[in-house]
Structure 1
Amino acid sequence: MRYRLDVVARDVSEVVQFAGGWLVDRVMAGWDVTVLISGDDDLRPLEILGVQIQDLESALEDWTERPHPQTVAVAADLFAADERVRRGVLGALEQGMTEVTLWGESWPAELNAAVGSVRHELSAAARAFKAQALAAIPGLSAASVEATETFRCGLTALPSVAADLTPAS
């Protein structure tokens, strides 16, 4: 059985900047990683990361019929802006069967009790692929790819399937 990670975002650059290295490491570990994205951004940076890509609107319409992933990663601003995404995240946290990971600069206050700060140490390969993906986005610099990426994570009731996210404190 392959583990699944669904990433929910509006913007290609946001996915690459905040989670690009983590996604590469998950793909290299054998995970099926799918980025569900809206808009008409150039998808080449996501292809560089090695992820699958699907339309966000179509995925949200068929969400109940999709196989449930072990992890869902969501842009925090999309959580705040889209009621469907918000309901899905809160439902996953309540059920405790799916690890929920969020990234971004503005954290929803209603999640403070349900999520904790975690980080992922990027492999050398993840840093290299992330740098290439960043270079493929107009206006972004690949010069400073950090060694870690930081997230907020609501863990499942069961032991996590991924040992790559560790407490940030």
Structure 2
Amino acid sequence: MRYRLDVVAANVADAVRFAGGWMCDRVMAGWDVTALLVDGSDQRPLQILGVDTGDLESALALWAERPHPQTVAVAADLFETDERVRRGVLGALEQGMTEVTLWGEHWPAELDDSVGPVQHRLTAAARAFKSQALAAASDTWPVSTTETFRCGVMVKPSVAADLIPAS
């Protein structure tokens, strides 16, 4: 069985900017990583990272039939603007069986008690691939050694040891 990470984002550039290195490292570790996008018009940056893509609308319509991922990562702005995404995140946090990770510049206040800051330290390869993916997306965002997220507490320990508490 391969582990799965589903990434929910508005567009390719946001997914690469905020979680590109983490996605790349997960792919290199043998995970199946899929970015589910509102606007997936230019998929090349995600292809550089080894990430599959899908349409968010189709994935939400078929969510009950999809195999559930071990981890789901969601853009915080989509949590606040799409009720279906919000319900899915809150349901996963309540159930406690899926690692729920959020990223973005503005954190939803209602999640303050259920998610805590974590970070992923990017490998040198992930930094290089993320740099190329950002260039392909015409994004000048700097590539740092870490990516910061908010992660929900799980009932049982996560299969992913790459997210550590942020200091």
- Give the structure-2-normalised TM-score: 0.98
Q: 2:59 maps to what in 1?
A: 59
Describe the SS at the equivalent of 1:72.
strand
Contact preservation (8 Å) 2:96, 2:154: yes
Describe the SS at the equivalent of 1:145.
coil
> 1:134: how far off?
0.4
> 1:141: how far off?
1.9
Percent sequence identity is: 72
Match of 1:109, as an amino acid? A
Structure 1 unaligned blocks of 5 or more: none
Q: 2:144 maps to what in 1?
A: 146
Describe the SS at the equivalent of 1:34.
strand
C-alpha distance in 2, partners of 1:159/1:39?
33
Q: 1:119 maps to what in 2?
A: 119
Describe the SS at the equivalent of 1:65.
coil
C-alpha distance in 1, partners of 2:36/2:99?
17
RMSD: 0.9
Q: 1:160 maps to what in 2?
A: 158
Contact preservation (8 Å) 1:98, 1:155: no
C-alpha distance in 1, partners of 2:53/2:154?
25
Contact preservation (8 Å) 2:36, 2:54: yes
Q: 2:23 maps to what in 1?
A: 23
Match of 1:91, as an amino acid? G
Contact preservation (8 Å) 1:37, 1:53: yes
Runs of 4+ aligned residues of structure 1 deviating over 6 Å after TM superposition are none
Per-residue CA distance 1:41-98 (angstroms, 9 max, x = gap): 3110011110111111000000111111100000000000000000000000000000
C-alpha distance in 2, partners of 1:106/1:100?
16
Size of the alignment, in residue pairs?
Answer: 167
Q: 2:102 maps to what in 1?
A: 102
- Give the structure-1-normalised TM-score: 0.96
Contact preservation (8 Å) 2:117, 2:151: yes
Match of 1:157, as an amino acid? V
Structure 2 unaligned blocks of 5 or more: none
